[in-house]
A and B are shown apart, each in its own frame.
Chain A
Amino acid sequence: MKLRADLVLRTIGSDHLIVDPSQDMVDLSTVYTLNSSAAWLWEQLKDKEFDLGTVVELLCENYDVSGEQAQSDAEILLQDFEKQGLLEK
């Protein structure tokens, strides 16, 4: 899978966000907020082809978490990305 190339992660002060413009006739853009670890992962994953294993590996290498915890966190994150339409179709 791949992150949508048209979305840009933005940092304002200590906040991280992504603005997704609506393509419908109604102008309602969506703003997603990311915590610092999700934002860090976004930067690592952007422009790359990746899978669940990539995310688990990144979490294990850079955070003090068990493999089990990393697996579960990665699954939740990717489900969120999928559900919110942040992945390339």
Chain B
Amino acid sequence: MIKSAELSQTRYRIADLFLEFNHPVSLPLTQLLASFRDFQISSTMDKADIVINISLEAPPVTDDMGILRTDESIAWGDRFRFYEKGDQFITTIANEQANGTWYQYSERNFEQSTIYVPVSSADEQSAVITWISMMIFGQASLLHDTIMIHASVVNHKGHGVAFLGKSGTGKSTHSRLWLTHIPATVLLNDDNPAIRLTAAGIFIYGTPWSGKTPCYKNEKLPLKAFVRLQQAPVNQFEWQPGMKGFIAVLPSCTSIRWNKDLFSSMNTILEKIIAEVPVGYLKCLPDVDAAQLCHRHIFSK
């Protein structure tokens, strides 16, 4: 057993939610989670919204892993498995040396999880713990009026605009075009922002997760619009009212499908967001005209 004296607590605030790691002192978490630096807070008396325990002990593995829900993973390829067993979800990732396995045991709603660390380099620990914590945050946040989306987000004069699209559509490219050609525009996040419903309106937040672009800003902006992008030989912008807007944003939202409460919660949050935030559809080339056309439609509205 690890004695409590050897445990350390590290806390972050992401999209106004408290994320707490409990980990052995020997694991230098703040160094491993470099992209989390701007989100770190000192310990408070407030109860954490999401707790992740990290253990160097042997995982409590049994032969029966439960139901294999998916082995599809863009990030981990063949190394990844996701199981449902009773009231737990279990994620496994084979380690780089292929002589051990990462195990993540989560409660059904992902408020409490434990990660078991196999033999691994610091780089591997950094990559896996960063990724797992994103996955956990994406689920657990749904219980707090917060949704993670797959998007590249620009900050134009204090307003957030979120660009959506399948991988390879050119979300980041379109953001770059805004940064270069639309004055007073900077990047908020390039891959995984969070959106939160509050009494004061709908806000989009930077997070410690931003795909390949190191842009980890602890900032929030009122969300002005979503734009779904599709590559085309022309530039054409069209607003998507009501249901069309909902359907345009839905595929970019994070939720596992095997916890129906979380999935339903995601849809309810999205329904409320769509009632307030307009959704556009941009057929586009990767050129300056596309950015200017998009900007004109959103900011003349």
Enumerate chain A interface residues (CB-CB to B < 8 A).
Answer: 6, 8, 10-15, 17, 19, 21-23, 25-27, 29, 31, 33
Contacts and interface: CB of A to CB of B under 8 A. Distances in A.
Contacts of A12: 242-243, 245-246, 271, 274-275
Given A23-B257, A25-B71, A8 B245 contact: no
Interface stretch (B95-103, B181-189, B258-266): B258-266
A23 B70 CA distance: 10
Interface in B214-259: 241-243, 245-247, 250-251, 257-258
B243 A21 contact: no
Main secondary structure of the interface of A (DSSP, over half): loop
A13 B243 CA distance: 7
27 contacts: A6-B264, A8-B264, A8-B268, A10-B246, A10-B271, A12-B246, A12-B271, A12-B274, A13-B241, A13-B242, A13-B243, A13-B275, A14-B242, A15-B243, A15-B246, A17-B243, A19-B267, A21-B257, A21-B260, A21-B263, A23-B257, A25-B69, A25-B72, A27-B72, A27-B257, A29-B250, A29-B251
Contact of B247 (A13, A14, A31): A31
Given A8-B268, A22-B257, A15 B263 contact: no
Contacts of B247: 31
